[in-house]
Structure 1
Amino acid sequence: MAMTMTKAMSKKAPAGSASTLQSMMKQIAMQMRNSQQNSSTQLPRIDGLTINPTAVNFENGQTLEISFNLNQMAVVTAAIYNSAGNKVKTLLNGIHLNAGVNKITWTGTDDSGNKVAAGNYVIQITPADMISGKTGETVSAQFSVGSVNNTADTTAPQITGLTVTPSTIPLTGANVTISFEISENAKVTVQVLNSSNQVIATPLNNADKSAGTVTATWDGKDYSMYPTMIMNLQAGTYTIKVTAVDASGNSNTATFQITAA
C-alpha cells in the first residue's frame, strides 16, 4: 500500500519584521525612561507662604496664622526655630496635605506645652513627594514674639489715707482700727512699733490685698514677748507702719503715730 507524505511548510516572517519590533521596543523603553524622569522632576512645591501677624503677642490671646499653597499633594513637615537655631515647636510632622491652600494656627506653646519667650523666630516648611519621598525646597519666614508689657514695672503701690482710730489708746488696750487705700494689688504688712523701733504687734502679715480700701484691727496690746506673755502698753508714742509690695517687687511704706496714755 502506497503512503503519501506531505511536509508541513513553515511560514517565514516577512523580511524586516524583527528589526521593526526591536525598534518599537526601544521606543517604548525610551518613553518609560522619559516618563520616570519627568515624574521625578515634579517635586512638591510651596508657594505664597504668609504669616499673620508678623509680630505676635501670645500673652493677650493672639495666635499666629500660617498659610501656604501646595502645587500637589505632599507629605509636609513644619517647625518653629528660635534665634539660636533650636527647634522649639513641631507644627507638622510628615502630615499628608492636599494641593492648594493649607493653613496652620500656632498658639505660642513649645513642644513641652510652655509659652515661648519673647524674641525672633523662624518657621520652616518642607514638602516631600508622597511616592518617592524626595523633598522639595524648604521655605521659611521670620516673625517676632512680643510681650504685652515689654517695659519693666518700676512703680511702687501708693498708700494713701492712712488713719488709726482711736489715735490715743488706754494702757490697758482698746479695739484699734487701721484703715488706708492702696493703688494696686499688693501684699500688705501692718506693724506696730514702740519708741525703740521694736515691733510689738503685727495686725497684717504679708496679706494679699486688692487695690482699694484695706482695714486691719489691733487690740492695743504688746505682743513682743508672745507667746510667753501678752503685755499692756507703756505710756508713750507708737508708730503704725504699713508696707505694700506689688507683684514686681516694688514697695512703699506709710506711717501714722499714736499715743498710749
Structure 2
Amino acid sequence: MTTAASIGVVLVLLSLTFVADWLRTPDITLLSSTALLSPNGDQDRDFVTLTYRLSEKGLVTAQVHSPRGGLVQTLLSDENQIPGQYSITWNGLNELGEVVADGQYRLEITARGTLRSSQQNLTLQVDTTPPTMQLANVPNGLRVRENALTVEGVTDPDANVFVTGNPQPVQVDGQGGFAFLYRLNEGSNVLEIRSVDPAGNSTVLRRDISLIVTPPEVVIASPVDDAFLNQSLITVSGQASPDVTLTVNEIPVSVGEDGAFNHQLTLEEGDNLIRVVATDDVGNVTLEELVVHLKSGAPSLFLNIEDGETFNEPVLQLNGRTDPGAIVQINGQVVPVGDGGDFQLALQLFEGQNIVDVVARDQAGNTTNLTRQVRYAISTAPTALERLWENLSVLPSLTVPFLLLAGLVIALVMFRQRGVTMTLAVDQPTFKPGLPGEGKVLLIWLELNRDTHVTLEVLDPNGFPRATIVQNRRRTARKHTFSWDGYDDFGRPVAPGEYTLQAEAGTNPVKVSTAIPIRIEEDILAHRRGTSAPVMGLPTGLPTGEVIDVQVRDAVRDAVRDASNGTRRTSGNQTYRRR
C-alpha cells in the first residue's frame, strides 16, 4: 500500500514537470538598441558584434532583413542554446558575399521553446560613404611668408576633424564649419586633415604648403655705389631671382628667365639715388640702394702764374687749386692734391722759354687743361744804391720834395696806426657746416679800439686763404660781429680739419694781426654735396659776412657807408655782408 502510494506521487511529479517544460517560453534580451557598421575594408567598423541574453533553453535563429523586409543573410538557424549570454557578428555582406548597400537593416533574433517562442529586433545602420570635406583657403602648393596659417573648411556636421600631429579633434559647428591655426616651418610643409563620421568612414585631404621667409636676392652689377659719371643716360643692370617683381626708382622692369635685368635711367646733375626693389610672390621684399654722382662740367683749375711771365730764379714754386678729389698732372708728373683741392710743385726752369702744362681730371673723367709759357732769364741785379741813383737821375726836379712829403705822410700814418689793438673771438672752437639754407654759421667777434681797415680770413694748415670774410674794409672802433658758414670762396664746404681764423688791421706799412685756431668737423650731407657745382646766390640762412646791429637814427649814415663798401642792407636792424 505504501509502495503504491509512493509510485503515484512520483508519477504525479513527473507529469507536472513535463507539462511545465512543455509550456516554458525562452526569453531573449538584446543588450544594444542600434548598431553602425561600415564594411568598406578600412579596418574601422567593418563588422558589428551584437550581444544578447537567453533566459531558457531554446532554439535560436538570427537573420538580417533589408529595409523592404527581404532576407539578406541568416546568421543563426535553430541553434540549440542553453540559458546564458551570447554574441553574433555581421560583416555587412549578403548571402552571396556582397557588400550590402547603405541604409537601415533589421536584425531579427528568435528563441523557440517546445510550444512558445520570443523575438527581438535591432536596427543596423550600414554606412560606407565617407564624409564630405572642403578647404576654403588652402589650395595645394600654397606659398606664404607668415608661419601662422589659419585653415578654414566645411565637412559633415556629425564628423570629427583631425589635423596632423594633434590627437585632439577640431571643433565642428552645427553647419559643419571648422577653423584652426596651423604653424608652418620654413620650407616645405605637408598638411593632412582627416574627417571621420560616426560609422568610421574617413576623408583625408593633403596640402603641400611652402613657407618662404628669405627675401629674394638682388645684385646691382652696374653702376657701382658712389660712382662719378659724366654721362646723363646710364644703364642699371644686375641679377635677381627670375620670379620676382622688380622696380627701378618705382618703374617696373622685366626680369629674364636667367634673372638678368637692364634699365636705362636719366641722371640729373649732382647726386642721384637709385632704388632697386624686388618683391617675390609671397610679398618678401629686398631693397638695394646706391648713390651716383653726375658731373658733366670740367673741373676748375687756377694757377699762380700767368702766360708770358719772366722769372729770374731757376726754381718756380707753382701753386694752384682745383676741385677736391681731382687728379693733377704737371708736365706729365702726378702731383698730390689736398683735401681742399690745393696743389703745389717746385718746377725746375731752363734758361729761355719753358712750357708748363697742367691737366686736372675729376672723378667723373672730365678734364681741364691750362698751358703757360714762361721765361727764365739770368741777369745780374744792380745794388740798391745803384738803382736809387739811376732813378734819381731820371726823375724831375720836384722828386726830392715829393719824396720828403711822402716820408712825412708815412710817418703820420705810422703814428696814427700806433696803438691799434683788437680782440678776436668765436662762439665755438669746433664748427660743423650745414647745407645751404640751414642757417648754420660760426659767429665771430672782432673788437677794435680805433677806426681802421680790417681783413678777416680763414687759413688752411699751409697758410693758404680758404675763405675771405671781409677784405680790407674800414671799420669803426667798436665790437663787430661776423658770421661764416663753413664754405670756401668757391661756395664749397671746406674739408674737415684744423684751420686758423686770422684778422689783420691797419694799412701798409704798419699792420697788426691776431689769430685763433678753429676745427671743422665733417657733416655727411654737406661734405657729400661738396663735390657738386657750388650753389649760386644767397642761401636762406644767415650768410657769411658781417652782422651789424644799427639804430634807426644811424640808417642814413650807414647807408652811405655801405654804398661805398659794397654792403647789401636788409630791412630791420641787421646788415648782412657777403664775401
- Verify same fold: TM over 0.5: no
> Higher Cα Rg: structure 1 or 2?
2
What range is the shorter-chain TM-score in?
0.3 to 0.5
